[in-house]
Amino acid sequence: MNRKKSLLLPLMFVTLFFILSIEQDRVSSYEEQRVLVIFHEQINDKLLNKVDASVHHRFEQISAVAISINEAQIAILNNHPEIKLIEEDHIVEIENVSQSDARWGFNATKVERSWANDYKGTGIKIAVIDTGIDSTHPDLTIKDGACFVTTTQNACRNGFMDDNGHGTHVAGIIAANNTTKPFIGVAPNSTVYAIKAMDAEGRGNTSDLIKGIEWAMERKVDIINISASTDVDSTPFRFAIEKAHNQGILVVAAAGNKGKRNGLGDTVEYPAKYETVIAVAAINSQNKRSEFSATGATIEVAAPGENMYSTFPLMLDRDGNPNGYTLQSGTSMAAPFVSGILALYKQQNPMLTNEQLRGLLEKNAFPLGDIGRDAWYGFGLVQAVEGIVLEKPNVTLQVKEPGFIQLQWPAVTNATVYQIYRNETLMTETLDLSFNDWVINGNYTYQVIAVGENGKIEKSAELTTEIAEIGYEDLKNGNWYNPHLIYLSNRKIITGFSNNTIRPYENVTRAQAVTMLGRALGFKDEKMTPFFKDVDKESFASGYIQQAYEQGIVSGFPDGTFRPNQPVTRAEMAILISKAYKLEKTIDNIFIDVTEQMKSYDAIIGVASSNITKGFDDGTFRPEQLMNRLQFSVFVARAKNEQFR
C-alpha cells in the first residue's frame, strides 16, 4: 500500500567537494515554496494548473515535477489520490576545504599503466553534474552541455559555463587533455558532457540535479559523476539515479566531507549512500584517510582527494599563478578519479555491464584497511591496470554448418553463471558449458564471461569468426526466429524466393506447408501424379503432397480437393505436425479455447505435450488463426530438432 508523505521539514545538506549547508526560510501559508512532487502514474498538468503551480522542471522518467506553490496548495495536492509524494526542493551551497600543493594522485592510482597500452577512455561518455565546465579552457574539450540551475532567474544566461570553478576542476581530473602541460586527466580521450546544476555561489536545487541526470540518460552516457551530497534521502533523487543505473549507466558520487576526525560512525551522505551508486572516500598522499572524508559501510573505494591539481576557469584563477590550474581538496576530487578509471576499464572491456565494471573496482583495488570492505576505504585504493587481464577459459569455436556456430568451454571454478556476448550484445546467461548460435552473413566476435558470486568476473575469453554463406534480403540478425529459419535453410527445408527473400511474414499455403514437412521428413524431391484433382502434376509441391497422402499425413477435403493455395490455420498446422511426427497426447488440455469436440483436439494437445508450442500468454491456442511462413518454420524446426523446443 502506497503512503503519501507530507512535505519534508528536515534541511537537506548537499556538498560538492565540500561541506554544504542549507538555508531555511519559514513561510506563511500564502508564501510560495519550492517542492518536488511525484505522481503515482503520469504527470497531471490539469491538476498543476488547478493549484496555479509554477513549474520549474518536469521529470518524465520518474513522473515528477519541481514546482513553486504555497502551503494551502500543498495541502490540496497532498490529499489528492494521484500524488505519491511531496518533499522540499532544497537549496544547497558549498564551503571550501583547505588547499595546498601537488599532483601525486596519478602515481597512486597507476593510471599510466593503462595509458601505456593506449587505454585513455576513447569512446566513453562521461557526464559531470556540477557547477558547469569552462568550455573555453584550452585543456578541456566538451562534447555538449546544458544548464538546469533555477536558483536565480539568470543563472543559465551563459549556458553551462562554470562561474564557480568546482565543476571545471572535477572535469580536469577526469579528462584534461593537453599533454604538453604538467597535468593530464585520468581518461584524457573520454567524451565529456557538462551539466550545470549549481550556480556561481555553489547553490542549487535537488531538482536541478535530477534534471541533469535525465539529460545525461537521454544522451546515453556511460558514466555520471556527481560530486555532491546531502544528508537527506530524497525519494525523487533516488528514483532518478535508479533509472540511470537500470539503463546501464555507472553513477559515481563523492561520499561527503562530514567525516569525524576519529573516523567513527556512518557519515556517508546521499546519493553515495544509495546501493546503485559507487561511494568514493578520499585519501591523502600517505594513503591515509583524509580527516574530512565520510566513513561507513557503503564506502566502495577510496581515491586521492587532498591537494589535487587540476583545471580551473581562467577568469576565476586568482591563486597567484593564473595559469588555469589550481589545488583543491575533498571527496569531490576523489570521485572523478574513479569515474576516469571506470572509463579506462570500459574501453578495455566494452561488453561488460555496469555491475561487472563495479566488480572490477573491487578486484583491482589496492587494500588499505581491514580485510574485505573497510568502513574508511571500502575495498581499497582504486587502481588502473595495464589491461584488464582475466584468466581465459579454454573456449573453442566451431562453424558446424553454414550459419551455425557452436562455442564450448570447460567448467570454471567458482563460476555461478556464464554470460555469452555476440558483437557486444548479451545473448544469454547460462549454466551450460556450450552455446549454439545461428547467424546470417557477417563478422562475429563472441565473448564468454564466467561470473562468480556477487557479479565478480572469474574469467573471460574472446573469439572472432566470419560467416559468408547465409543471407536473405529480409532476414536480419536479432530476430528471435533466425535460428529456426537458418537451420531449415541449411537443410533445404525452406529455400526462399528467386529475389533472395524468405518472406517470413507472408501467409504459408497448404502446398508450401506440406512441401516443408516433406523435405523435413526426407521425402523424394520429384513431381508425381497427385490423388487430388486440384493439384497440378507440374506443381513444385505435387510429389510432396502425394507422398504425404500415401503416408496418411493429409487426406484433403470431402470434394476430392486439396486446396493447395489456401492458407494454413494453427489447427491445421497441429494436425500436420502431429501426424508427421506421430506425436502423442501426454498432458491435459491447457488451452481455454480448445475443446474435446474439435477435430484437431488430439493434435493440438500432442504438439503442446512435445513442447512445440505453449500457446499464448492469455491461455489461448487460437486454432483458426492463420500462420505465416516464419511461424510454421518455427514449429517444423521444433518438431525436427528438440534443441529448439
Q: Which residues are catalytic?
A: 130, 166, 332
DSSP string, 600-625: THHHHHHHHHTTS----TTS---TTS
DSSP for 322-391, written as a single string: -SSEEEE-SHHHHHHHHHHHHHHHHHH-TTS-HHHHHHHHHHH-B--SSSSSBTTTBT-B----SS---P
Beta bridge partners of 325: 311
Contact 34, 67 (CB under 8 A): yes
Instruction: Please check whether residue 282 is in contact with residue 292, taking contact to mean a CB–CB distance below 8 angstroms.
Output: yes
Distance CA 617, CA 78 (A): 39
DSSP, residue by residue, 276-297: TSEEEEEE-TTS-B-TT---ST
- Which CA distances in Å does 385 have to 113, 257, 528? 6, 28, 70
Q: Are 477 and 440 in contact (CB under 8 A)?
A: yes
Grid cell, residue 223, equals 558514466
Q: Which long-range contacts (CB under 8 A, 24 or more apart) does 475-480 make?
A: 475/440, 475/502, 475/504, 476/440, 477/439, 477/440, 477/442, 479/504
* Angle subtended by helix axes 629-640 and 570-580, to nearest 10: 20
Residue 150 identity (one-letter amino acid):
T
Note whether 199 and 188 are within 8 A (CB): no
Instruction: At 432, list the grid cell.
Output: 551450460
Q: Could you give the CA distance from residue 134 to residue 312 in angstroms, rounded to a whole number?
A: 8
Q: Is 481 helix (H, G, I), strand (E, B) or coil?
A: coil
**For helices 235-246 and 206-218, what crossing angle results, to 10°?**
10
At 543 the three-state DSSP class reads helix
> Is residue 73 classed as helix, strand or coil in its secondary structure?
helix
Encoded amino acid at 19, one letter = I
Rounded Cα–Cα distance for residues 310 and 99 (Å): 12
Residue 125's SS3 state is: strand
Count Cβ atoms below 10 Å from residue 533 Cβ, excluding itself.
10
CA distance 269 to 286: 25
Range 81-98 burial, b when 16+ CB lie within 10 A, else e: eebbbbbbbbbbbbeebe
CA distance 427 to 457: 17
What's the N-to-C CA distance of the chain in angstroms? 40
